[in-house]
Structure 1
Amino acid sequence: MSGYGDLPEGWQVWTEDADGGDILVYRPDVFDSHEYPSPCLPTIQVAQRPPTQQKRRAGSNPDGWWVSLTLEPEVRVRDADARFDSRTAAVAGAVDLAERFAAGDVDYRGAYQIPREDYLDELDDRTGREA
């Protein structure tokens, strides 16, 4: 069922549900709650609701699919949010976002008001991004 093909190094499909959405995670072997707090697992979500809407409302008629990137539950990289007309297009958008993230082309530092410097430094090292 997976439409994710070859994800860039470090990314993996955590859950996949064609009706409810998918979750991709980055380096769960590194960001595993031992050295970093457990919420510090970069996550891409593919869902039939905007990232600002917590749950799908009963009887709602979703208008497309959304892709979002979070570094922690309350830290969303808003510049990465995107809307797509179909699940297939959203999956392709999620793969593109994962590729840009892995290449260091996503400004995740800008999502923080109070940064976790050790965590962000580790992400910089893993993605080759310069702070």
Structure 2
Amino acid sequence: MSFPEPPGGWRVWNEESEGRVILAYRPDVFTEDAFPAACLPTIYLTNGSRKRRPGAGQYETDEWHVVLFLEPEIEALAETYDDRGDAVAGALAAASRFDEGQVDYRDAYQVPREEYFERLDELTGREE
């Protein structure tokens, strides 16, 4: 099961035989020098449980989830699909929107990080 080539600066970071996929955005620049490595944007495509308890994600559900993380605990987007094919299309669409500067990542943060946002705006072409 091969995942299609993601758009823009996105790369397939991990692909499991069960269909789960992790996409990473511009891992070449999230290296501590230009952007903090901990802030590497990732998209998870999974049918694992979304419950917030340790190990819950290892249990398969009947739904597929696409989640865009800006940091490990910062979600900018979370969508649910009935089947993997639709979820793959949703993950690719989310990747395109982010790469084109159409995702408002500022709203996902409780504590603003203006300097970081300005650099991320430049990387994604987002105009605030």
TM-score tier (shorter): 0.7 to 0.9
Given residue 3 of structure 1, which amino acid in structure 2 is its aligned partner?
A: F
Assess if the C-alpha contact under 8 Å between 1:46 and 1:90 holds in 2.
Answer: yes
Match of 2:93 in 1: 96
After superposition, where does 1:1-131 map in structure 2 within 5 Å?
A: 1-5=1-5, 7-19=6-18, 21-53=20-52, 55-56=55-56, 60=59, 62-77=61-76, 80-131=77-128
More strand by share: 2
User: In 2, Cα distance between the equivalents of 1:37 and 1:127?
Assistant: 16
What is the CA distance between 1:27 and its match in structure 2? 0.6
What is the CA distance between 1:39 and its match in structure 2? 1.2
Given residue 67 of structure 1, which amino acid in structure 2 is its aligned partner?
A: V
Structure 1 residue runs of 5 or longer lacking an equivalent are none
**Counterparts in 2 of 1:95 and 1:115: CA distance versus 1, 3 Å:** same
Assess if the C-alpha contact under 8 Å between 1:33 and 1:40 holds in 2.
Answer: no
Deviates more, 1:67-76 or 1:26-35: 26-35
TM-score, scaled relative to structure 1: 0.84
User: In 2, Cα distance between the equivalents of 1:44 and 1:108?
Assistant: 14
What is the CA distance between 1:35 and its match in structure 2? 3.6
What is the CA distance between 1:37 and its match in structure 2? 2.9
What is the CA distance between 1:56 and its match in structure 2? 3.6
- Taking only aligned residues, the RMSD between alpha carbons, in angstroms, comes to 2.0
User: In 1, Cα distance between the equivalents of 2:18 and 2:43?
Assistant: 17
Assess if the C-alpha contact under 8 Å between 2:47 and 2:60 holds in 1.
Answer: no
Question: Aligned to 1:88, what secondary structure does the other structure show?
Answer: helix
Runs of 4+ in 1 over 6 A off after TM superposition: none
**Counterparts in 2 of 1:13 and 1:35: CA distance versus 1, 3 Å:** same
Question: Aligned to 1:48, what secondary structure does the other structure show?
Answer: strand
Question: Aligned to 1:33, what secondary structure does the other structure show?
Answer: coil
1:79-119 CA-to-partner distances (Å, cap 9, x unmatched) read x2111111121111100000111111111111011122222
TM-score, scaled relative to structure 2: 0.86
